[in-house]
Structure 1
């Protein structure tokens, strides 16, 4: 039995060649992204690359957010996550995140964040 026999097209695995994707700018200086997954329910998986000194402005997590640090550091007033480590935040958590030396990390969101200044979330189209 092959995978083609086991799963109809809508249930088959989706492979993403993240290495071949270009980094896309975000609305925040020094922050680039690759959207690996996004759906109409608000869930997303995003690979971020932050330049040294970059800041993610004040925002609130509407639901669980999980981040695995591939390289570098990301910190807020509650602590720091560094290379090879993981942090998760519950819905309702508010913070400003910043990096000292730059970072590459994978974040998984169950719902889009809400930015204090009304800035759109990374998966929302411009003008939304």
Structure 2
């Protein structure tokens, strides 16, 4: 077996430090339950939530027309549309399309009439104009 091939996590060492390599985290996302959020018509599966940095990755399902109220991105946000359409005042993404927003971008986003399933990657929690908390903050992330 080549040196860079599969091995047991406890046997692998980091290349940049003299310590064990942290293990990968595998999730069975299709079989994870959809969780309700405080945002009407939006359910999610939290795939990664790092309370120390505020970074999180979420699979979100939006019912037709469901929206995310006015908010500002405090760091880069990345969104890949899996199904349906995801829109804001600046444009829209359909299946397989991708949009990223820079820190400081302020917008309202919503699902098209067919709804949407999206993968969102957030480096830090958003700030909502109405004081609502970000999706991950109730779970210990991004305080």
Question: Does the alignment pair 1:29 with 2:34?
Answer: no
**Whole-angstrom distance in 2 between the partners of 1:10 and 1:27:** 37
Q: Which residue of 1 aligns with 2:67?
A: 55
Query: Runs of 5+ in structure 1 lacking a partner?
Result: none
Q: Which of the pair has more CA radius of gyration? A: 2
Contact 2:87 2:109 (8 Å CA) reproduced: yes
Q: Which residue of 2 aligns with 1:95?
A: 107
Q: Which residue of 1 aligns with 2:126?
A: 113
Q: Please report the TM-score for the alignment, with normalisation by the length of structure 2.
A: 0.83
Q: 3-state DSSP class of the match of 1:125? A: helix
Shift of 1:118: 0.4
**Whole-angstrom distance in 2 between the partners of 1:19 and 1:9:** 30
Question: Does the alignment pair 1:73 with 2:73?
Answer: no
Q: Please report the TM-score for the alignment, with normalisation by the length of structure 1.
A: 0.93
Query: Runs of 5+ in structure 2 lacking a partner?
Result: 14-18
Q: Deviations over 1:49-107 (max 9, x none)?
A: 00001011000000000001100111111000110000000000000001122000100
**Whole-angstrom distance in 2 between the partners of 1:62 and 1:103:** 24
Q: Which residue of 1 aligns with 2:22?
A: 11
Contact 2:82 2:118 (8 Å CA) reproduced: yes
Q: Deviations over 1:9-40 (max 9, x none)?
A: 66111101111111011111110001100112
Residue 38 (structure 1) aligned to one of 49, 52, 69: 49
**Whole-angstrom distance in 2 between the partners of 1:9 and 1:96:** 44
